[in-house]
Structure 1
Amino acid sequence: MGHSAAVWDYRAAHELTTDWNGNPLVVLRNPQGASARISLHGGQVMSWKNQHGEELLFTSSKAIFKPPKAMRGGIPICFPQFGNCGLLEQHGFARNKVWTIDEIPPPLPPNDSNGKSFVDLILKPSSEELKFWPHSFEYRLRASLGSNGQLSLISRIRNVNGKPFTFSFAYHTYMSVSDISEVRVEGLETLDYLDNLFQRERYTEQGDALTFESEVDRVYLSCPNPVAVIDHGKKRTFVIRKDGLPDVVVWNPWDKKSKAIVDLGDEEYKHMLCVDGAVVENPITLKPGEEWMGRLEILVVASSFCSDHLDLQKVRF
């Protein structure tokens, strides 16, 4: 693709291709050389690279890429549930279904498209989903890549008709890190969290940053923006900003659980960290005709090993 201004309008801002299994795949690029790959299987971001071609998301070497299995890595979408309960499969069905490109999406504010390479996808329930989750919905997803390499995901879920329905949600974001022992997460201090390793007991974060020495599986509640994942080894920081997503899930399986996960290498936990924008504690209820929107924005900035506390408020998206 060329770098003329005309190339970066909506029609030419993405290209449609396939992965090695023949699954449809959308590729976004910006003029600086950053890229993102979004699979129509699951509406899942499978890759996000900076202008130097460095992969920013983790994907397991044992990941299974064939439907109906969701790929272990990237950013799977958890809807209409996060977790495992009821008749639905774990983390819901959206990440296992084939989405389509939404050719005529409802308008979003200009700053959600201007200067960005983006694609709009849509998912509607099939008769199969309606048997287990009998609710008519339209789920529209916009994935965009900014000129600064920022990755943005905007989900809009509408109750089309019938009765009210309730759902939980997460962008299950697998970040690629140098070594989990070299990572700290800032922006969670003083927050309450539910600890899934202790029967979802409620605790309060005491540290000024979260570091990792063993398995972590927590839901931080009502988390203000933004959150920073500081990777001292790679000297870079993921800055996460969100809207409509009050909670933050932090997960690393560590060594023992990694060995029990079929599609994750035994030592790969060292190079991944999931930090999810989510709705967990207080699920969303939509009446007929109502719509919910959840936005996730991730920007990667350079950070130094010797830098003190990163001033998140000064990071410009």
Structure 2
Amino acid sequence: MSSTSSGEMVYVEHTAGVHGLPKIILREVRGCSAEVYLYGAQVTSWKNEHGEELLFLSSKAIFKPPKAIRGGIPICFPQFGIQGSLEQHGFARNRFWIVDPDPPPFPTITSNKAFVDLILQCSEEDVKIWPHRFEFRLRITLGPGGDLMLTSRIRNTSTDGKLLAFTFAYHTYFAVTDVSEVRVEGLETLDYLDNLKNRERFTEQGDAITFEAEVDKIYLSTPTKIAIIDHERKRTFVLRKDGLPDAVVWNPWDKKAKAIPDLGDADYKHMLCVEAACVEKPIVLKPGEEWKGRQELSAVPSSYCSGQLDPQKALQSE
């Protein structure tokens, strides 16, 4: 637990991370923590009060710009995937953000002291490859109970009347014990686009999503809560979201994992991406308009019911 010489708790610490890249550590009294790199405004670590890592970070993650960091919570903006003119997942994840010197008032719980406000403003280089002007503000908060909250505010700052259209995702990599023993609840019976089948549209069958092969799906019109149940660790992640109607579920499995240079061959077993997103229908802002998209993550012990993990308690709890 970090503290000052007077014994006061240090909730926000600015330090250097891998290869000297600037990093911010958020801490709460109970011992939970989160680490955020200014490169990509990317959360790379989220630990509970027992020091257990809740986010997956690749064993081969490259912390060298312009390469994106593999793991944690990459920010996909202004383009998700390869559907558009930009590099895959856009450029926000491989730009250096700055600490916002004058953040707007965020509706937040006043007891939260472990938070940081970051800002990305379009550079002239960005405008050359994507001719739009914007301001992207991001608040990352670690709650007293260990919940991790990301709130994005994106404003169209155009002065020439141009609309701002973009897609977006919090590309969260959850750390799991064995992905073949994981279930996802909350996406049953929903329509999805299958990226492995040219984005063809299907309807999800069954009562839960389980994993036994590569998956890359965009679920549409999803609920505001999704549960990811790690059967072996008896842990349930609860993802709550606002302003993000879609949910992406991704795991590369063994063959594709071997083809990804910055992912260990066996890493796929210990990760699952469940991403709060807006992909199918781009967000469109008029000049001066602002969009807000929020994600809150929590990790709770799973309970048993008739020998099965019971996520309903997590899904129904507020």
TM-score, with structure 2 as normaliser: 0.94
Give me the whole-angstrom Cα distance separating, in 2, the residues matched to 1:94 and 1:223: 25
| Matched residue, 1:147 | 144
Tell me the alpha carbon deviations over residues 111-144 of structure 1, each in whole angstroms, 9 at most, x when there is no partner.
2x53341000000011111001111111000000
1:2 Cα deviation from its structure 2 partner? 3.8
Give the alignment partner of residue 133 of structure 2, picking from 133, 136, 159: 136
AA aligned to 2:90 is G
Paired with 1:85 and 1:210, the residues of 2 have a C-alpha distance of 25
Report deviation, 1:224: 0.8
Tell me the CA shift for residue 247 of structure 1: 0.3
- TM-aligned CA deviation for residue 308 of structure 1: 4.6
> SS where residue 227 of structure 1 aligns?
strand
Q: Tell whether the 8 Å contact from 1:237 to 1:300 is kept in structure 2 after alignment.
A: yes
Q: Match of 1:31, SS? A: coil
Distance change (3 Å), C-alpha of 1:7 and 1:283: farther
Pairwise CA distance, 1:7: 5.3
For 1:247, give the aligned amino acid: D
Structure 1, unaligned runs of 5 or more: none
Counterpart AA for 1:140: R
CA contact (8 A) 2:112 2:141 kept: no
2:226 and 2:315 in contact (8 A); partners too: no
TM-score by length of 1: 0.94
CA distance in structure 2 between the aligned counterparts of 1:276 and 1:116, rounded to whole angstroms: 26
Residues of 2 paired with 1:231 and 1:20: CA distance? 29
- Counting aligned pairs with the same residue, the percent is 63
Check the 8 A contact 2:302/2:309 in 1, yes or no.
no
Which residue does 1:181 correspond to in 2? Answer: 180
SS in structure 2 of the partner of residue 21 of structure 1 = helix
Relative to structure 1, is the Cα distance of residues 292 and 222 closer, same or farther in structure 2, using a 3 angstrom cutoff?
same
- Given that 2:231 and 2:309 are in contact with CA atoms closer than 8 Å, whether structure 1 keeps it comes out as no
Tell me: CA distance 1:110–1:152, structure 2 relative to 1, closer, same or farther (3 Å): closer
CA distance in 2, matches of 1:7, 1:108: 25
Matched, 1:156 2:153: yes
After TM superposition, give the deviation of residue 104 of structure 1 in Å: 1.4
Aligned counterpart for 2:100 among listed residues 99, 102, 105: 102
Give yes or no for the alignment of 1:126 onto 2:123.
Answer: yes
The one-letter code sitting in structure 2 at the alignment partner of 1:48 is W
Any conservation in 2 of the 1:7–1:13 contact (CA below 8 Å)? Answer: no
Counterpart position of 1:310 = 311
Paired with 2:217 and 2:261, the residues of 1 have a C-alpha distance of: 22
* Contact 1:25 1:37 (8 Å CA) reproduced: yes
For this pair of structures, how many residues does the alignment match?
A: 311
d(CA) in 2 for partners of 1:200, 1:142: 32
Matches of 2:118 and 2:100 in 1, distance apart?
5
Contact kept, 8 Å, 1:140 with 1:157, in 2: the verdict is yes
Give the gaps of 5 or more residues in structure 2.
Answer: none
**Aligned equivalents of 1:236 and 1:313: distance in 2?**
13
Residue 207 of structure 1, CA deviation:
1.1
SS in 2 for 1:269: helix
Question: What one-letter code is carried by the residue in structure 1 that aligns with 2:198?
Answer: Q
What are the residue-to-residue correspondences of 1:265-304 with 2, within 5 Å?
265-304=264-303
Please, which moves more after superposition, 296-305 or 69-78?
A: 296-305
Residue 146 of structure 1 and its aligned partner are, at CA, apart by 0.5
Task: Tell me by how many angstroms 1:85 deviates.
Answer: 3.7
The SS at the match of 2:60 is: coil
C-alpha deviation, 1:39, in angstroms: 0.2
Q: Which residue in 2 is equivalent to 1:30?
A: 28
